[in-house]
Amino acid sequence: MKDGFIKVAAVTPEIRVADPIYNRKKIMEKIEEAERQRAAVVVFPELCITGYSCGDLFFMDPLLEEAKQSLIQIAEDTAGKNMLVFVGLPLAYRGAIYNVAAALSNGKILGLVPKQIIPGYNEFYETRHFAKGMGEPVEVILEGKNSVPMGGHLLFVPDSLPELKIGVEICEDIWSPQPPSISHALAGANVIVNLSASNEVTGKDCYRKSLVEGQSARLICGYVFASAGDGESTQDVVYSAHNMIAENGIMLAEAERFRNQSVYAELDIQRLNGQRRRMTTFQGSQGDYREIPFHLKKEETMLTRFVDPAPFVPGQEEERRKRCEEILSIQSMGLKKRLEHTNCRCAVVGISGGLDSTLALLVTVRAFDLLGLDRKGILAVTMPGFGTTDRTYDNALALIRCLGAELKEVDIREAVRVHFHDIGQEEGNHDVTYENGQARERTQILMDIANQHGGMVVGTGDMSELALGWATYNGDHMSMYGVNASVPKTLVRHLVRYYADTCGNRELTDTLFDILDTPVSPELLPPEDGKISQKTEDLVGPYELHDFFLYHMLRLGFGPEKIFRLAVYAFCDADYAQARYTPEIILKWEKTFIRRFFSQQFKRSCLPDGPKVGTVAVSPRGDLRMPSDASADLWIARLEACLE
């Protein structure tokens, strides 16, 4: 349960209809299996102690009595097991029969949750057997003098992880117009378990899956769905054991149907609670809910869930291409509106032959095409300096030519030398003044050319650079509209690659692929043997790591220790990453990220306008309201403890 992770399981035992004694043994076998897997929450199907498909046998006293005794026995057998177990059974109470989910932990029956929505349509005839469950809890005596609360408004809360609150609904509940899980979530439940017996018909699995994913998304919760399977009666229908575990709209684990396959996954409770805190429209209300405490020994949850090393980039090619097209459309539509509003028919873009300026030019071309403007109205300005290499210079010229923009070349070297002379800067002193002097000279040129032509300077800097402050204040930091301001560096590459794959121009494609192969560099220091001498990722660290840190810090609000743990898991342990980094290297660059992120906020506090394209952005007018003088000491101190 370290870092808010809790391992859950959706389990379907092989059963016999109307044989609680046999079913009890099979349920206990699955509980033993789940214990070996170290699952803390285990969910079985609806009415699994008897079988869902008993029909009028539910009216028979022998079945009801043996189901109750089997429940008591299963509860006793959970003694000493570090888990919360949910099993389903029919229960007679005050002249009616209820379809209930029983919560069991450490030898005790903690509570009984009755089904709220009772179906009586098509192949379902539960209204013939079961009464609608009550909401407010009542006390039920199962055996002896000890009573157990029964009602829909029960939440189960472990003492070792009080931020975890578990609510229960049963099968049809989620299919209804107003599922009980809505009120559960508003009362604080961040995990919903569903004991189900959902039969199969063609295409139903897709809709069922969409329900589970959708409900977990709208409620910002974990959702554990355990369904009946092989062993139920096939007199009229078939059950497939379609077990699922979802978290905030993402399917973490899904069983192969018709196999009674158990599925396991770790739910991130910290992530869910953090998302809810950010959603000001998620306003809870306790109402008449009762919280039932139970004991769980706190232990570290071993992760098996996928942690994406590239959270900004979709893993599937089809989805990635769709995302790229969507982002390019957002960027170009944003610029289109700004050009229209200012009645501007000229855009000025500084072209270096690098990735960011390439993307900015591609977006500008799209915006001009949308407006029906001549691409010659795009002034693509290349400004060779002390660090410019032949490769980037040639690529800049080829890119401009292929896209049909107007080329303007301004060599900045002499102007910078004059400036250095004026301020007493030695040209051989390659310090920050040497570098920033070139960047500010370029920005001055772009702004003045824009004034000459009644144009607008389109910014090229990306979000990763803004997060790190890797931009010259009032240099490349400034523009009149920053089209890349919320695009992370790891995604810039895919956007350019997507354009290369789809443009239909062989020369442009070849140029774009060469730009993609060029090391990321500001090219502010003289080349060595004609090649780039200043590689950004050697100086500030790999962008794939920084984008990982950025996503988990801003999007999810995680602390530095949890981000470090996830980064080690994603980049060191996972086969996908092939151990590209050691934990020590990750720690080093995460410290760099934190220090720079805090110290460079002043640059983000005065960003130019630019379109938000994803769930993370650093605009001071939108997603990031942060003081420029906040201390990073707390974050650094917590991070440094990770390897102690």
Q: Which residues are catalytic?
A: 46, 115, 171
Handedness of CA 388, 391, 395, 397 (dihedral sign): positive
| Cα–Cα nearest to 469, from 603, 616, 588 | 603
* Rounded Cα gap, residues 633 and 636, in angstroms: 5
Q: In what order do the strands lie in the sheet with 222-227?
A: 250-254, 244-247, 222-227, 191-196, 166-170, 154-158, 290-294
Phi-psi region of 124 (alpha: psi -120 to 50; beta: other; left: phi over 0): beta
* Rounded Cα gap, residues 14 and 548, in angstroms: 43
| Cα–Cα nearest to 205, from 243, 176, 171, 168 | 243
- Contact predicate 470/536, CB 8 Å: yes
The amino acid that residue 486 corresponds to is S
DSSP assignment of 156-202 equals EEESS-TT--EEEEETHHHHSSS-HHHHHHHTT--EEEEEE--B--T
The amino acid that residue 156 corresponds to is F
| Cα–Cα nearest to 547, from 611, 612, 615 | 615
By CB atoms closer than 10 A (0-12, 13-18, 19+), residue 609 is middle
Which positions ≥6 away from 11 have C-beta within 8 Å? 30, 33, 34, 42, 43, 44, 226, 243, 262
Residue 217, SS3 per DSSP: helix
